[in-house]
């Protein structure tokens, strides 16, 4: 009988061993996910002075932290409440399993698990959360195997970076910044206790929703630490009394969303995981300048709406399309390098994420005139050259039908004779048309293309700025004036650092197109535009400014393109529906 029982036990044992081997053989490849751990990580954007502009992420907001940078107290708190014998067992804890089995048998249902931190990591990364025996067996097998491959420290590093802490925060570092606005080394014992108590039920213990419950859970952690002798009575008593300040926030904290969107658009093709690869992207943006730019746009927008409201007073059915469609955009660059210091693609990002700084192309209108006059200066004209400011009638044919075009100056008047300087200062259309006609349309169009303009028509419509440009493109073109004949390409990304610490630095791109003395003449005229011409509203006491206003037909678009000795700014206002 005894031999029979022993034989039966051996057969059953061999059968179980064979089953476990087969089961492990099916799942052993799954452990590679844990060993070669590559979590999604938030990418951070910084301004030129290293100030955080934004965190961007895809699905999981996570800032990774190495084990050596995790305070020992966090490790102690986690181990104390979740897996006291973590550093002694080999992946599973037989004592805890025995206790859990007894409790579950008594209860007649599954009430308590006995998962070690290693098993919990396996469950998070590899297996599902269903409460079935087969899943627990797989979990145990993989945990035992994992502990032969990774050190305890490596397991803890993966756990604390992967686990969900509620409120959209993945990983201990992200949670510390989210709930407490602190780095890990700044946390108090009570704050640590709140964090390590969260993974058990992150939504239930979320301190922004259930602070009392969260504090009660934290007190359990502190009590456990005291019971184990890992903190003294004074630390215990002080921590039990503490109620930390909790922040209810998201961690995107995007202080320059239009600028960040533009930066992402420049990176996404070459770095597809830019939103989730844990990069640090250093931008050329100056957050102070960005704030001023955004505020200036909003003030101008509000002023425009007020003027429109004053005009529409007394209307029985006021047309509010002006309010709905009006918007603006702005870009400021460092003239010598092309570094973008401020970029705004709209008045309010919360109302419209469409980025008018680079996604929209608008007609240049009379803002194109400095380029036309520069061509004339290059071809022998000078600021004192006499231009004919009289009306002309142009005959042309469309579809076999004869038509006439009779352009006018703003206000309808004409001077007869006007100097080149005064013609541009006053933005006179008729003298500009006659100038381009005399220089030659082919000569002017070729030069415009050389300055970087596309969509250039080989006819007199170029004098009205018929070509369409984005603010980025216009900014590059205008840099020939603000940078003394050397055109610079506007750029917003200065350096990219990947999670391994490898970096790429972006250098300015420049192209010499004119001699400085030729540009000096144009800057002198554009300075007159600001001091006594159409751009007088742009004057700032104590700063030498040059610039050009611009409008298109029926004031569909309004531009100002201006520069100081070091900074160039281009602004556009108009309706999104043209």
**Burial zone of 403 (CB within 10 Å; 0-12 exposed, 13-18 middle, 19+ buried):** exposed
Q: Across residues 288-307, what is the average pLDDT?
A: 93
Residue 524 has pLDDT above 60, yes or no: yes
Structure tokens belonging to residue 97: 């399993």
pLDDT for the residue numbered 100: 52
Given a cut of 70, is residue 329 above it in pLDDT? yes
Q: Collapsing DSSP states into helix, strand and coil, what is residue 476? A: helix
pLDDT at 217 over 90: yes
Tens of pLDDT along 56-106? 988 889 999 999 999 999 999 999 999 999 999 988 887 665 555 555 545
DSSP H or E run through 325:
helix 321-325
d(CA 168, CA 209): 13
Q: To which residue do tokens 């460092």 refer?
A: 334
pLDDT on residue 409 = 75
User: How far apart, in whole angstroms, are the C-alpha atoms of residue 106 and residue 556?
Assistant: 79
pLDDT at 461: 86
Over range 162-176, report the average pLDDT.
Answer: 94
Start-to-end Cα distance in the chain:
97
pLDDT of 1 above 80: no
Residues 6 or more apart in contact with residue 486 via CB below 8 angstroms: 479, 480, 510, 511, 512, 513
pLDDT of residue 318 exceeding 80, the answer is no
Tell me: pLDDT of 12 over 70: no
Q: What DSSP line would sit under 86-144, residue for residue?
A: TTTSSS--HHHHHHHHHHHHHHTS-------HHHHHHHHHTS-----HHHHHHHHHHHH
pLDDT grade, residue 109 (50/70/90)?
very low
Q: Is the pLDDT of residue 516 over 80?
A: yes
Nearest to 263 by CA among 282, 286, 239: 282
What is the predicted pLDDT for the residue at 487? 97
Please report which confidence band the pLDDT of residue 152 belongs to, taking 50, 70 and 90 as the band edges. very high
For 399, phi then psi, to 5°, come to 60, 35
Instruction: Name the more confident of 157 and 307.
Output: 157
State the average pLDDT over residues 516-528. 95
Between CA 424 and CA 432, with CA 426 as vertex, the angle to 5 degrees is 45
User: Which pLDDT tens digit goes with each residue over 181-210?
Assistant: 999 999 999 999 999 999 999 999 999 999
pLDDT band of residue 394 (cuts 50, 70, 90) is confident
- Higher-pLDDT residue of 220 and 394 is 220
400's torsion region: left (phi>0), alpha (psi -120 to 50) or beta?
left
Q: Dihedral through CA 511, CA 515, CA 518, CA 521, nearest 10?
A: 80
The per-residue pLDDT for 35 is 86
CA 262, CA 345: separation in Å to the nearest integer?
Answer: 9
Residue 400 confidence (pLDDT): 76
Give 334-382 pLDDT, tens digit per residue. Answer: 999 999 999 999 999 999 999 999 999 999 999 999 999 999 999 999 9
CA distance 157 to 69: 10
The helices-and-strands tally (H runs, E runs) of the chain is: 20, 20
Per-residue pLDDT tens over the stretch 481-500: 999 999 999 999 999 999 88
More confident residue, 486 or 276: 486
Mean pLDDT of 211-229: 95
Predicted confidence at residue 325, as pLDDT, reads 87
Q: Quick one: angle between helices 189-197 and 172-180, nearest 10?
A: 120
Three-class DSSP category at 467:
coil
Q: Residue written as tokens 């400014």?
A: 545
The predicted pLDDT at position 16 comes to: 52
The tens digit of pLDDT for each residue in 110-138 reads: 334 468 999 899 888 876 555 565 667 77
**DSSP letter at 164?**
B
- Six-digit token pair at 133? 């025996």
Closest residue by Cα to residue 548 from 292, 342, 368 = 368
Looking at every residue in the chain, the average pLDDT score rounds to 87
């Amino acid at each position: 009988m005894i031999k029979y029982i022993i034989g039966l036990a051996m057969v059953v044992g061999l059968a179980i061993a064979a089953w476990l081997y087969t089961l492990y053989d099916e799942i052993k490849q799954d452990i590679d996910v844990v060993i070669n751990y590559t979590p999604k990580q938030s990418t951070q954007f910084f301004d030129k002075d290293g100030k955080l502009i934004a965190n961007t992420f895809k699905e999981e907001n996570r800032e990774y932290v190495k084990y050596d940078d995790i305070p020992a107290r966090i490790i102690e708190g986690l181990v104390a409440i979740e897996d006291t014998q973590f550093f002694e067992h080999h992946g599973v804890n037989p004592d805890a399993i025995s206790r859990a089995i007894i409790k579950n048998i008594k209860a007649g249902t599954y009430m308590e698990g006995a998962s070690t931190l290693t098993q919990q990591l396996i469950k998070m990364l590899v297996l599902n959360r269903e409460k079935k025996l087969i899943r627990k067996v797989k979990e145990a097998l993989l945990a035992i195997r994992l502990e032969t491959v990774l050190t305890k420290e490596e397991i803890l590093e993966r756990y604390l970076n992967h686990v969900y802490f509620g409120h959209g925060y993945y990983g201990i570092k992200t949670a510390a910044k989210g709930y407490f606005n602190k780095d890990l080394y700044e946390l108090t014992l009570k704050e640590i206790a709140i964090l390590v108590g969260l993974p058990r039920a992150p939504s239930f213990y979320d301190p922004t929703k259930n602070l009392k419950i969260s504090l009660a859970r934290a007190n359990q952690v502190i009590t456990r630490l005291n019971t184990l002798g890992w903190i003294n009575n004074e630390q215990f008593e002080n921590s039990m009394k503490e109620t930390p300040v909790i922040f209810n926030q998201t961690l995107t904290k995007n202080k320059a969303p239009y600028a960040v969107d533009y930066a992402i658009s420049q990176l996404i093709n070459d770095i597809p995981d830019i939103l989730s690869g844990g990069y640090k992207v250093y931008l050329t943006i100056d957050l102070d300048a960005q704030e001023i730019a955004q505020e200036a746009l909003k003030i101008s927008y509000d002023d425009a709406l007020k003027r429109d409201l004053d005009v529409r007073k007394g209307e029985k059915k006021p047309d509010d399309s002006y309010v709905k469609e009006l918007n603006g955009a702005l870009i400021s660059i460092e003239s010598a390098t092309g570094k973008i210091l401020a970029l705004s693609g709209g008045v309010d990002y919360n109302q419209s994420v469409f980025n008018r700084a680079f996604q929209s192309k608008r007609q240049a209108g009379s803002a194109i005139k400095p380029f036309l006059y520069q061509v004339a200066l290059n071809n022998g004209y000078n600021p004192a050259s006499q231009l004919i400011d009289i009306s002309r009638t142009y005959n042309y044919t469309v579809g076999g039908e004869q038509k006439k075009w009779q352009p006018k100056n703003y206000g309808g008047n004409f001077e007869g004779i006007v100097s080149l300087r005064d013609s541009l200062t006053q933005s006179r259309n008729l003298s500009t048309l006659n100038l381009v006609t005399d220089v030659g349309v082919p000569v002017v169009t070729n030069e415009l293309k050389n300055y970087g303009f596309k969509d250039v028509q080989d006819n007199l419509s170029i004098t009205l700025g018929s070509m369409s440009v984005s603010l980025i493109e216009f900014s590059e073109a205008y840099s020939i004036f603000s940078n003394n004949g050397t055109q610079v390409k506007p750029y917003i990304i200065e350096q990219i650092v990947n999670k391994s610490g490898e970096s790429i630095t972006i250098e300015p791109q420049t192209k010499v197109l004119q001699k400085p003395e030729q540009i000096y003449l144009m800057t002198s005229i554009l300075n007159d535009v600001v001091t006594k011409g159409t751009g007088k509203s742009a004057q700032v006491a104590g700063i030498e400014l040059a610039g050009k206003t611009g409008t298109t037909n029926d004031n569909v678009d309004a531009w100002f393109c201006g520069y100081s000795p070091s900074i160039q700014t281009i602004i556009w206002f108009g309706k999104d529906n043209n």
